[in-house]
Amino acid sequence: MPVTSAPDLAATAAPAARKLSLVDKLLPAWILVAMAAGLLLGRSIPGLNSAMQAIEIGGVSLPIALGLLLMMYPVLAKVRYDRLDTVTGDRRLLVSSLVVNWLVGPAVMFALAWIFLPDLPEFRTGLIIVGLARCIAMVIIWNDLACGDREAAAVLVALNSVFQVLAFGLLGWFYLDILPGWLGLAQSDLDVSAWSIFVNVLIFLGIPLAAGYLTRRLGERAKGRDWYETRFLPKIGPIALYGLLFTIVILFALQGKAITAQPGDVARIAIPLLVYFALMWAGPFALGKLIGLGYDRATTLAFTAAGNNFELAIAVAIATFGVTSGQALAGVVGPLIEVPVLVGLVYVSLWARRYFPGNTRPQEVNR
């Protein structure tokens, strides 16, 4: 995606909007158009839901999978994999990411679900499941738009994906059964296999990561790094935008009727989600500055904490509670709120870059 490079230090005081390309400035408009198109398709084409559900493999929607893979591949092809050791050696970043993703994030969503939805157990459970499904897909593109550290994003997404396989089921049991029991609250069960989570991670991270890595290695070997970064990457960059917009259209089309038929329920679910995304972005962003991370890595920490693996959350909710359940609706509303909110936070992040003077590492790869 053609996003401008992080500026030099002399330019950091300029308004963030001036540093964005025309495509990036219009991104909110493209997203609104994609949302509207999806809603229109969902309302106007009878049987669209059934047709989309028929093209699934193992509970994974192939159209959504296609959109996510198209969205992630160009960004992962831009990662300089020979620099990953500079990220893996940064214990502040790695430890902070694990803490905010696996201790803070699920606890925050659990608290907000019970505060805002005490009388709606199905929606409450669905939100808790969203909180357990940590970053894996769209966070890659939000981080890139905000001029975050690509190498750090690749490492953190991979690290949290491993923890997702290991911890998702255990944390689901804790937050839906054990902790409510301790607090005298209503309990729920979550039946999900580690294998299904592994397949989800393999598809939505493993495939684009392998494709991006091989593309860079083979491209640089055949033509050199200069050709790869100045000629090849600009050509594949727009694919990420097309993948993002295609994914949004599909998501809204699949749930168009539910969204427009139950606006009150959607609003109830949206309120705790708005609070959640704001807290889970602002807290880690401030933490990054506090522990001395540069702007690029503080931004990566913030977006990998605020982003969620909505595909996993939706798949688990549908498999456990049914496609028409309130839990599934809450899972679907998650990305519908996350997309516009995190786009807005991209601009907030670029504006806040001025508070990291002398501490921003320029991205050398063409965006």
Cβ atoms of 140 and 118 closer than 8 Å: no
What CATH number does the domain containing 191 carry? 1.20.1530.20
Q: Could you tell me the CA-to-CA distances from 306 to 84, 264, 363 in Å, in that order?
A: 22, 25, 22
**Full domain range(s) for residue 82:** 27-352
Where is average pLDDT lowest: 9-13, 36-40, 180-184, 192-196? 9-13
- At 61-110, the pLDDT tens digits run 788 788 888 888 888 898 888 888 888 888 999 999 999 999 999 999 99
**DSSP codes joined into one string, 196-219:** HHHHHHIIIIIHHHHHHHHHHHHH
Assigned domain for 125 exists: yes
State yes or no: pLDDT of 360 exceeds 60: no
Q: Is the pLDDT of residue 277 over 80?
A: yes
Establish if 35 belongs to a structural domain: yes
Residue 359 maps to a domain: no
Core vs surface per residue 135-147: b (16+ CB within 10 A) or e: bbbbbbbbbbbbb
pLDDT tens digits, 81-90: 888 888 888 8
pLDDT at 106: 95
Contact indicator for 281, 299 with CB cutoff of 8 Å: no
Q: Which amino acid is at 67?
A: G
Residue 208 CA to chain centroid, in angstroms?
A: 15
Helix axes 150-173, 310-321, angle to 10 degrees: 20
The whole-angstrom distance between residue 246's C-alpha and the CA centroid of its chain comes to 15
Three-state SS at 57: strand
More confident position, 218 or 338: 218
Q: For residue 33, tell me if it sits in a domain.
A: yes
The H or E element that residue 276 is part of is helix 263-290
- The highest-confidence range among 50-59, 253-262, 332-341, by mean pLDDT, is 332-341
Does 300 reside within a domain?
yes
Residues 175-185, mean pLDDT to the nearest whole number = 90
The answer to the question of residue 257 being in a domain is yes
Band the pLDDT of 59: cuts 50, 70, 90.
low
Give the total number of structural domains in the chain.
Answer: 1
pTM above 0.85, yes or no: no
Q: Determine the Cα–Cα distance for residues 231 and 198; give it in Å rounded to an integer.
A: 35
Question: 329 Cβ partners below 8 Å, 6+ apart?
Answer: 122, 123, 126, 255, 258, 262, 265, 266, 269
Pairing of strands 56-57, 60-61: antiparallel
Average pLDDT over residues 336-359: 86
Looking at the domain assignment, is residue 362 inside a domain? Answer: no
Residue 150 lies in a domain: yes
